[in-house]
Every structure is written in structure tokens, then in C-alpha cells.
Structure 1
């Protein structure tokens, strides 16, 4: 039995199979997930688990060089945007922050290795993480 890191076998499997520039999405419970994209559904009840706690755990096990948010988060959920920025700046100070329309973000989920669905119920609480090259980050 695994002692540390992500215990969810589906998430662990996806992370271990990712390469440089592969995409992984973490979304709120309302984000539509394309049939062709692997769905890892963690949602139990509204806000359980939350988007931020899921993002925190996943990014403890993943190297990130960039992340993509919906442009709409700026006006519709600025508190969440700031929470994401704070977390990402702390963990990945050189990661590039990108914005796209919510429609385009939903379209991009088709190219993600997986979409992790949380119980989050706040608007535009979705992120696409771009995998970094792990050996380039070793010092």
C-alpha cells in the first residue's frame, strides 16, 4: 500500500504517465467533460472536495510550467483567481499564467490527459495545468 503522495490510483496513474507539455485539467462540478477525455470524478457533495484542496494535492505531485484559466474568472470569481495565483506562485514561481475564454478552455479539455472533477460550486473554478520537464527542474 502506498504511504505518501496521492492515494487516488487514477490520479496517480495519470500523473506518472505524463510527459513535458502534457495537459491536466482540474474542474468544478459543472465543467462539461468530453466523452473522449478520461474523467476522474472526485465529487461527493457540493464543495467536497474543494477545487483548491484538490489543486494543492495534485500540484504537490506534479511539476507545472504553465497554467490556463478562463478569462471570465477575473470578473466572476476574482477571489478564486487570487487564491490560485497565490498557490501557484508559491509552488511554481516561474510558471506562466495564461488566460483564454471559458469556451476555449472547455474545448482544450479534449486534449487533456484527464479532467479531475471536484465538488467545487463556485463559478469558473477550472484550471488546465501544463506539465513541466521534471529533469530540467532538478538541481
Structure 2
């Protein structure tokens, strides 16, 4: 059995197959997922699992160099943004990597997420609780 934090085999497989600059999206329960994009559906009920729980577990496994968030999150979900910023600070402290952060309009976010290796759907119902993680390299 795997010893790490992340136990989900589908997410682990996607992360293991990612190369430099490939992306993985973690989304709320309402983020549209195109038919051609791999869907990893974790949603059980409203709020379960939460976006932050899933992001935290993924950050324990994935080396990231950049993240993209919806611009609308700043005004529509500032609490969620604060949670993400806290996790990113913790990530930098643990790993020494400081990913760059970009904010884009939600309509552009949805288009960009379609190119991800996979989109992980959480049970989150807070607005704009979505992130695209772009993989870095560990060397």
C-alpha cells in the first residue's frame, strides 16, 4: 500500500505521468468538464470532499511551478483565495519551490482547464473554487 498522503489511484497515476508544464485541474462541483478531458470525480455530496482537502493532498505529491486561478475568485470567494494562499505558503516552506500565480477571467480558465491531463471534481460548492496546477521539475 502507498505510504504517501494521496491514496487515490487515478490522481496518483495522472501525477506520475505528468511532465514539465503539464497541468492538472482541481475544480468545484460545478466546473464544466469537456468530454475529451479525463474526469476524476470525487464529489460525494455538497462540500465532500472539500476543494482545500483535495488540493492539500495533491500538493503533497506534485511539483508545481505555476498556478492559474479565476480572476473572479478575488471578489466572489476571498475566503477560498486566502485558504489557497495559505496552502501555497506552506507548499513553499515544505518544498522550497514558489510557484507563480496568475489570475485569468473564468471563461478563459474553463478553456485552459480543458487542456489538463485531468480535471478532479470535488464536492466544493464555494464559487470559483478551481485551480490549474502546472507541473515543474524536481531537478
TM above 0.5, yes or no, is yes
Task: Indicate the residue corresponding to 1:58 in structure 2.
Answer: 58
In the alignment, structure 1 segments of 5+ residues that lack a partner are none
Q: CA deviation at 1:4?
A: 2.7
**Aligned partners of 1:88, 1:45: CA distance in 2, in Å?**
26
**Aligned partners of 2:7, 2:98: CA distance in 1, in Å?**
28
Q: Does 1:26 align with 2:30?
A: no
RMSD: 1.0
Q: CA deviation at 1:66?
A: 0.9
Q: Does 1:99 align with 2:106?
A: no
Q: CA deviation at 1:94?
A: 1.6
- Deviation larger for 71-80 or 5-14: 5-14
**Aligned partners of 1:77, 1:35: CA distance in 2, in Å?**
27
In the alignment, structure 2 segments of 5+ residues that lack a partner are none
TM-score by length of 1: 0.94
TM-score by length of 2: 0.94
Q: CA deviation at 1:6?
A: 1.8
Task: Indicate the residue corresponding to 1:35 in structure 2.
Answer: 35
**Aligned partners of 1:125, 1:49: CA distance in 2, in Å?**
12
**Aligned partners of 2:125, 2:67: CA distance in 1, in Å?**
20
Q: Is the 8 A contact 1:34 1:109 kept in 2?
A: no
Task: Indicate the residue corresponding to 2:129 in structure 1.
Answer: 125
**Aligned partners of 1:53, 1:5: CA distance in 2, in Å?**
11
Aligned pairs, how many? 135
CA-to-aligned-CA distance 1:23-55 (integer Å, 9 cap, x gap):
100000000001110000000000000000000
Q: SS at 2:75's partner residue?
A: helix
